[in-house]
Structure 1
Amino acid sequence: MSSRPRQPHAKDGHLPPARAAALAALDKVLRKGQEVQAALDTVLAGAAVRNGANAPAIACNTSSKKSGSTAQKLTASSPADSALRHVGISRQDAALATELVYGYLRSEIRISWLLRRFLTAPEKLPQEALLTLGVAAHEIVHLDRIPDYAAVDWAVTHIRQRFGPGLGKLANAVLRNVARLGDDARIADMYHADLPDPRDFLSVYHAAPRWLVDLWCDAYGPDRAADLLAASAQAPAPAVRVNAARPGWQALREQLIADHGGTACGHAGVVFPVGGFPAEVAAQERAGLLSRQGAASQEVLDALRPDTWEGPVWDACCGRGGKALALLERGVDICLCSDPNAGRLRGLRVDAERLGLAVPAIVRASATQPPCVAGAASAAAGPGCPALPVQPVQPVTSDTPDTPRTTGTSGGTASAGAFRTILIDAPCSGLGTLSRRPDIKLRRTSTDLDALAALQGRILDAALSVLPTGGRLVYITCTLNPAENEAQIERLLSPTGAASAAPVTVEVQHTTPADTPAREFFFGVVLRKG
């Protein structure tokens, strides 16, 4: 954060605004299973509406100190929701709440381990009290700009008022013991001393589930795994993609780099130092001059040489269209975007209009069953986009439900030569985006990976079945898991592994390096059929 945050004391039965918002958002993540940014947006928007304050959620967050048990779920509603009804929330408080939420989720395993050093039976504490201790401990260990006494004060006051003086005294003792650890709580020596097993150390010190540590150590070796875990436990560097379809985009990119100490990334991107987006980004985004997109996402797309892809191109797992829009901005012939989620597709249309781009054909369909693009949909895409008669598709409108209705395959296959390139930005475990989406560590388990790999296999087989000879299949994930990445490609290269009888060859492959300043990791490959 750019300035020292205000340090209000908890009094009159109310939590300080930032802590109230953080506890409310974490309640939604941990107890209700909401995604972290959606939970934070809901809490901060609700506080702004109730108090007439202008407090938008801040998507990029930062840790002020260097940092390297599965999260306890709340069993009762957090009182933070009611506390927010009585306080205003400023931009500064919104920024601190954002840091507390993201920072706690990134460091929860380490923080829980530290607390257990001073708690004989943490499982017997009310879950709200345990979460309060965790957030305060995160402040003490990882946030330089917040004095230890301020973190102790609000948490002890809140716990005492909620659960009585006994738990208040316990909270005071525990948090003061955490504060006495000083720098030891942030450096590796103490963890090495108490955790002789190297993988236990990596799990606790880098706040990663043990199954993830095992996965990365087995796949990449302990040294690279340690680098990946360290990067994933820190805040990502914020980045934007300048709209290359607008005149003068190069000058805007150079200005952003010069004015804010940024560096170039991808085709038209700028990555800024960790600490937040420049103030002018919001207005430039509204004007369609740029979009927020992670640096690693931009780099994998650029590394796959999209200027060489032959059109028309079908983005078969488009989501909200970040990659499709980036490709359209640089003149790639994207004719069709499809996704099973109507809400994301509506967002794609909104973003395309904001950026001043011609909206491609947009249909709701699973990539495991290629969609039917006929009539109006094909016309909307322009004369170069062919029909693909496989599955009937419901038009996407403002009233289209987000959950797709079940549709059966109508038989038939795509006409040969329909799409010369098919982009699969595959649904995946997201293990490469833990710095930006730390809640994934709480939701994902090792058993999820097999199901995702099976889904990816079905999507790849469906795409190959409609890809003409000589066409390209582009496969991208935002995860680091051989079963979702390299093993998928090895199967397609095998004479007996792929559904398509035509041989497949690799044209280019890219994996984000472990030392990337983006602190996110993508895998991508371009395959040629026949």
Structure 2
Amino acid sequence: MNAPRKNKPHVNTETPGLPARMAAARLLAAVVDAHTSLDGLTDHDHGHRQFLALDLRDRALVRAILNAALRFRVTIGELIAARLDRPLPANANTLQHILHVGAAQILFLDVPDSAAVDLAVDHAKSDPRTVRFAGLVNAVLREMSRRKERALPAVLARTDDAPDWLRNRLVSAYGETKTSKILAMHRLEAPFDFTVKSDAEAWAQKLGGFILPTGSVRVEKLTGPVTELPGFDEGAWWVQDTAASLPAHLLGNIADLHVADLCAAPGGKTAQLALAGAHVTATDTSRNRLRRLESNLNRLKLTATIAEADVSSWKPAEPFDAILLDAPCSSTGTVRRHPDISWTKSEADVEKLAGVQRRLLEAAIELVKPGGRIVFSNCSLDPAEGEQLAAALLSERTDIESDPVLADEFPWAVPFVTPEGWLRTTPADLDLGNPAISGMDGFFAARFKRRT
């Protein structure tokens, strides 16, 4: 389909629904072109100005559009390309984002196709860069709407909606079969997990969920904002993927011990440690993130000493009995929950972050007493940030030793313990019979002991 000749922009940008679509395309550009975190762009206090200008209903729509556009980016791209007589110009990024926003609604959201098409055309007409392509937008999206019942399943069957760099690294680590299972889970909306302070059975009933083997409460879908759920104001629970809750358990009985939670914000693991009776010192380099951590602890009625500190240069007065280091990483284990990660991260990020993690872990060793435990964890699926890093550390340092997780130590951990005694989870794990309620974040955790 060929583009019509250039025209001047002429459309009312206040047309109902159009500001939301324009914001969605702008934020999609920020994610794909500038590799900006979607969570930051859609933060209700500090997000992108176009997002903040919308009411709450339109903000929710923008989030839904972006999640679908990013989760199925390869599929959408193929369906658009099949309806073009020639590829889009190399510099036509804005046009591409308008098409992806429209297609995401037509293919995956409960939005009338006619509204999705008409608003995409209006969007194209409103921008001098795309006004001459308004006819193309109309033709491509209307053809997609007419053919989607047959075309969509066929494309979904031959794609996995992962960028090549991520798929290749997963295949190298897990093989073709498990990689296919992981990528299949990435296409599904993630359920919500809650760590409860007490009486998981009662809270599972109140929240409309069920108890996982790990002890978390899982709810398939929420019917409203988290802040309006029973127990929020009382601080009875916090949202935390069940895989993210596992590393803190590896420290064992920490009642009355002095424990440091390094890189602690937003504070889910800090809350676990405090709930277990430890005297917790929580550190992070970001003052804003620490404010959020403090707010979360206040709601939960839990306490910790909070320190704004860079682990690599921090000099506390006394060494700690135990340390939990949940290090910054590529976050590839959370793609199901955050589909932007596939498109904001790269192989270079994995290698760079593995180096950061190694430096932080080296520094953490110096902060624990002889005989003390260190748990290192992150939410990456990549062995460079997990298994390979742990093995290299053990081979190169003589002042620490592996403290393997034993099969009889935590019954829930048995499916996730590696031969080395490390913990490894993937989105393809925790099969509960129904994919919509199965799975968990990808996490790695290794436990070490400082030699005396």
TM bracket (short chain): 0.7 to 0.9
Pairing 1:506–2:404 present: yes
Match of 2:429 in 1: 515
Deviation at 1:103, TM superposition (A): 1.7
For the residue of structure 1 that corresponds to 2:76, the secondary structure is helix
Match of 2:149 in 1: 183
Deviation at 1:169, TM superposition (A): 1.7
Deviation at 1:146, TM superposition (A): 2.1
Compared CA separation, residues 226 and 364, structure 1 to 2 (3 A) = same
For the residue of structure 2 that corresponds to 1:353, the secondary structure is helix
Match of 1:14 in 2: 14
Compared CA separation, residues 275 and 503, structure 1 to 2 (3 A) = closer
TM-score relative to the length of structure 2 = 0.81
Asked whether the 8 Å contact 1:240–1:295 carries over to 2, the reply is yes
Pairing 1:230–2:184 present: yes
Q: Which of 13, 25, 28 is equivalent to 1:26?
A: 28
Match of 1:312 in 2: 258
Question: After superposition, what is the alpha-carbon deviation per residue over 1:71-119, rounded to whole angstroms, capped at 9, x for unaligned?
Answer: xxxxxxxxx67xx96xx73x44332222112221222232123212223
Pairing 1:297–2:244 present: yes
AA at the equivalent of 2:25: L
State the distance in 2 between where 1:227 and 1:44 align.
36
Pairing 1:527–2:448 present: yes
Match of 1:138 in 2: 104
Deviation at 1:473, TM superposition (A): 1.1
AA at the equivalent of 1:363: A
Asked whether the 8 Å contact 1:216–1:225 carries over to 2, the reply is yes
Match of 1:263 in 2: 210
Pairing 1:158–2:132 present: no
Question: After superposition, what is the alpha-carbon deviation per residue over 1:23-64, rounded to whole angstroms, capped at 9, x for unaligned?
Answer: 3433444455542122123599888xxxxxxxxxxxxxxxxx
State the distance in 2 between where 1:241 and 1:36 align.
24
AA at the equivalent of 2:14: H
RMSD: 3.1
Out of 15-24 and 518-527, give the one that drifted further.
15-24
Match of 1:463 in 2: 364
For the residue of structure 2 that corresponds to 1:240, the secondary structure is strand
Match of 2:310 in 1: 366
Question: After superposition, what is the alpha-carbon deviation per residue over 1:161-208, rounded to whole angstroms, capped at 9, x for unaligned?
Answer: 445775222112111232233234443x4466xxxxxxxx5xxx2221
Match of 2:408 in 1: none
Q: Which of 310, 317, 330 is equivalent to 2:276?
A: 330
Compared CA separation, residues 419 and 299, structure 1 to 2 (3 A) = closer
AA at the equivalent of 1:355: L
Deviation at 1:296, TM superposition (A): 2.3
State the distance in 2 between where 1:294 and 1:212 align.
22
Match of 1:36 in 2: 38
For the residue of structure 2 that corresponds to 1:218, the secondary structure is helix
For the residue of structure 2 that corresponds to 1:314, the secondary structure is strand
Compared CA separation, residues 31 and 207, structure 1 to 2 (3 A) = same
Question: After superposition, what is the alpha-carbon deviation per residue over 1:317-368, rounded to whole angstroms, capped at 9, x for unaligned?
Answer: 212222111221232x1432222222212222222222212232x2222222
Asked whether the 8 Å contact 1:239–1:295 carries over to 2, the reply is yes
Residue pairs, 1:67-106, within 5 angstroms: 89=55, 91-106=56-71
Asked whether the 8 Å contact 2:195–2:216 carries over to 1, the reply is yes
For the residue of structure 2 that corresponds to 1:469, the secondary structure is strand
Q: Which of 475, 480, 485 is equivalent to 2:376?
A: 475
State the distance in 2 between where 1:260 and 1:349 align.
25
Unmatched runs of 5 consecutive residues or more in structure 1? 1-10, 48-79, 193-200, 374-386, 389-417
For the residue of structure 1 that corresponds to 2:381, the secondary structure is coil
Asked whether the 8 Å contact 1:315–1:324 carries over to 2, the reply is yes
State the distance in 2 between where 1:32 and 1:93 align.
23
For the residue of structure 2 that corresponds to 1:313, the secondary structure is strand
Match of 1:272 in 2: 219
Deviation at 1:280, TM superposition (A): 6.4
Match of 1:435 in 2: 336
State the distance in 2 between where 1:155 and 1:207 align.
23
Number of equivalenced pairs: 415
Deviation at 1:278, TM superposition (A): 6.5
AA at the equivalent of 2:37: E
For the residue of structure 1 that corresponds to 2:423, the secondary structure is strand
TM-score relative to the length of structure 1 = 0.70
Compared CA separation, residues 519 and 174, structure 1 to 2 (3 A) = farther
Asked whether the 8 Å contact 2:320–2:369 carries over to 1, the reply is yes
Asked whether the 8 Å contact 2:32–2:344 carries over to 1, the reply is no
Deviation at 1:487, TM superposition (A): 0.9
For the residue of structure 2 that corresponds to 1:41, the secondary structure is coil
Q: Which runs of 4+ in 1 moved over 6 A?
A: 43-47
Q: Which of 216, 220, 225 is equivalent to 2:174?
A: 220
Question: After superposition, what is the alpha-carbon deviation per residue over 1:255-293, rounded to whole angstroms, capped at 9, x for unaligned?
Answer: 442245412247763221145556664563243232222
State the distance in 1 between where 2:45 and 2:160 align.
28
Deviation at 1:490, TM superposition (A): 1.2
Pairing 1:424–2:325 present: yes
Unmatched runs of 5 consecutive residues or more in structure 2? 1-10, 406-420, 431-437
